[in-house]
Homo-oligomer: A and B are copies of this chain.
Amino acid sequence: MKLKGLQEYTDSAVGEGKEFEEQLRRLVSVPSLSKEENHRADLRRVQETMADIAGGVGFETWISDDEFPILVGKLQTNPNLPWLTIYNHMDVQPAEEKWEIPDPFDPVVRDGKIIGRGSTDDKGPALTTLHAIRFLRSQDLPLPNIQLIYETEEESGSSHFAGYLEKYRDRMEECESVLVSDTIFEGKHPALSYKLRGSLDLVATLEYGDKEIHSGLYGGAVRNPVNVLNRAIAAAEDDQGNVVIPGFHAGIKEMEGRELEEFQRVCSEFDVAAFRKAAARPLTSDDPAEILRRSLHQPTFEIFGYDHIHSGSDRPKSAVPCKVAVKLSVRTVAHQKPDHLREVIDVFLQAKVREYLGHDEFTLTVEGQGPLPFVVDVDNPFIEQARLACREGFGADPLFVACGGTIGALPPLQDRFGAPIVLIAQSLLEDGYHEPNESFRFDQARGGVRTMAHYLSSIAELRLKSA
C-alpha cells in the first residue's frame, strides 16, 4: 500500500530550514531536565510548547497541574473508530558534558541532523508522529481516534506516572493499542522492541561511629567505612564482572521458541564493529550473541555515584568518615522482582561487612526502587502492521529486538489499558541517547513520518478487545 502524497509531504515539511526543524528547535530549546528540581518550570513549559504544536494538528490538549505535568491530547475524527494512545516523553537527560556545540539547548543543524539534548530522546520521534497524523488528515486518509499521553518524568524513572494514569482516569479514553517511539534501530535495521530492561536504582549506605575522626590519630586502629563498603560491593562481582550475589539471577528465563529465533536473527545481523565504535571502548566480548545477551537479556550491577563522602577536585579533609553511600544501578530483566533483588543484595552486603568488621556495630541499609522491566507478546496484529509499516516507511523489514534501556511508563500503560503496546524505533545508535552531541537525522525523521503514517492508517479500524 502506497500512501499518495506522502513523499511530497515529507519532502516539504521535514528537512533543514523546514517546519519540522523549527518545531523541534522550539522543543529542544526548553531545558526540560526532570532530574533537576530547579527545572520543574521547564517541564510545564515544554508541555505548553508541545500542546501548541499538537493544537496546530487539531488536538484538544490539557496539561495536568503536577510536579511532572502530563499532556493529554485528543483528536477524535469518528466516534465509531477505535482509540489509539500515543506515548512519548518531553523531559530530557542532563547535558553537562562537553558538547561540540556551544549550548545543548540551542540546537545546531549540521550534516543532515539536528544536534541538541532531547532531539532524538524523545522530542524528535514524538514530532514525526504528529506530522504523520497531519499528513493523513490533509489527505482524508483513514486514521484511528488518537489520544496523546506525553509525560515529563521518563528520564527520572516515571515513578509518578502510574499514579497520574489513575488520578486522571476520567480524562482518558480506553484504547485498543498503545504506540511508543522511544527506542532505537538495531544497526541499519528498523526495530520493533518487545522487551526492555527495568532500572533499579539502589543506595547502599554504611554507617558506624557518630562523627568523623582524625585520620592520623585513629587511622589503622579503626576500619574506614568507605574501604569496607567498597570491598563488599567489589565482592559482588567476579574478576570478569559477573554478579555472584546468591539469588541475583532468580526468575530470569532462558530464551526459547520464537524469541530465540528472533534473537538469532538479530545476532546474525549485528554489527559488532559499529557497536564497539559507538561504545567508544572495548567490549566484554567480541561475540555478537554474548554482547547482546549481556546488554539486552542480562541484568547489570554498576556503581553510579557516591554520597556523604568528599567529591571533586579539592583536597579531601584528613578525617575518617562515619558514613558513606554507594549508588548502584541494576538494569533488571523480565521476571526479576525488585523487592527480591534489593533483599538479596542487602543480605549479601550485610554478611560481607560483618565479616570484614568482625562485629555487628554498624548500620547498613539498601534502599531504592525504579521502573520495572517490560515484555509484550509479539504475536498480535498491531505488531504485524508495524512490521509492514517499517517496510514501507524505512524500506526494510524490522528486527524484533529486546532493548537494554528502560521506559518506566510501559508497565503502567500495560496495566492501565490492557492493550498491546507497539514500540517502533526511529533513532539510530549513533544518535547518542543520553550522550553529548545527541542528534536526530532528518532522513530518519522522514522515514519516521512515513512509517507512522502507514502504521496509523493501517490500524484505523483494527480492534482486538471489543471485536
Question: Which residues of A line the B interface, CB within 8 A?
Answer: 35-36, 93-94, 97, 155-157, 184, 197, 199, 201, 208-224, 226-228, 230-231, 233-235, 237, 239-241, 275, 278-285, 291-292, 294-295, 298-307, 309-320, 322, 327, 329, 331, 355-359, 361, 403-406, 429, 433-436
Contacts and interface: CB of A to CB of B under 8 A. Distances in A.
A241 B218 contact: no
A364 to B, nearest CB: 14
A222 to B, nearest CB: 5
Nearest to A281: B209
Contacts of A93: 317-319
A311 B314 contact: no
A235 B227 CA distance: 11
Nearest to A218: B279
A110 B66 CA distance: 50
Nearest to A291: B221
A223 to B, nearest CB: 5
A215 B302 contact: yes
A219 B307 contact: no
Given A217-B403, A318-B329, 16 more contacts: A201-B315, A209-B280, A214-B433, A215-B329, A216-B403, A217-B295, A217-B433, A218-B279, A220-B299, A221-B295, A222-B281, A223-B241, A230-B230, A305-B309, A307-B311, A307-B313
Nearest to A234: B234
A308 B314 CA distance: 12
Nearest to A208: B281
A311 B316 CA distance: 14
A438 to B, nearest CB: 10
Contacts of A301: 227
Nearest to A296: B220
A216 B303 contact: no
A34 to B, nearest CB: 9
Contacts of A310: 304-306, 327
B318 A221 contact: no
Residue from A217, A220, A235 whose CB has the most chain B CB atoms within 10 Å = A220
A436 B211 CA distance: 8
A226 B313 contact: no
B306 A221 contact: no
Contacts of A359: 282
Nearest to A219: B300
Given A227-B237, A434-B319, A222 B314 contact: no
Nearest to A285: B221
Contact of A314 (B36, B234, B279, B283): B36
A215 B331 contact: yes
B318 A155 contact: yes
B211 A97 contact: yes
A360 to B, nearest CB: 9
Contact of A215 (B97, B156, B300): B300
Given A281-B322, A281-B361, A303-B227, A405 B315 contact: no
A305 B311 contact: yes
Given A94-B317, A280-B211, A318-B329, A404 B311 contact: no
Residue from A94, A209, A311 whose CB has the most chain B CB atoms within 10 Å = A311
B307 A217 contact: no
A294 B331 contact: no
Contacts of A218: 279, 295, 404
- List 7 tightest A-B contacts by C-beta distance, closest first: A216-B405, A305-B310, A209-B281, A311-B311, A220-B294, A234-B234, A221-B295
13 contacts: A155-B318, A208-B281, A213-B278, A216-B405, A219-B295, A220-B294, A230-B234, A231-B239, A282-B359, A302-B320, A305-B316, A317-B434, A319-B435
Contacts of A94: 317
A214 B184 CA distance: 12
Contacts of A231: 234, 237, 239
A417 B361 CA distance: 48
Contacts of A320: 302
Contact of A217 (B157, B322, B405): B405
Contact of A302 (B224, B303, B403, B433): B224
A366 to B, nearest CB: 16
B156 A315 contact: yes
Contacts of A284: 220-223
Residue from A97, A281, A304, A356 whose CB has the most chain B CB atoms within 10 Å = A281
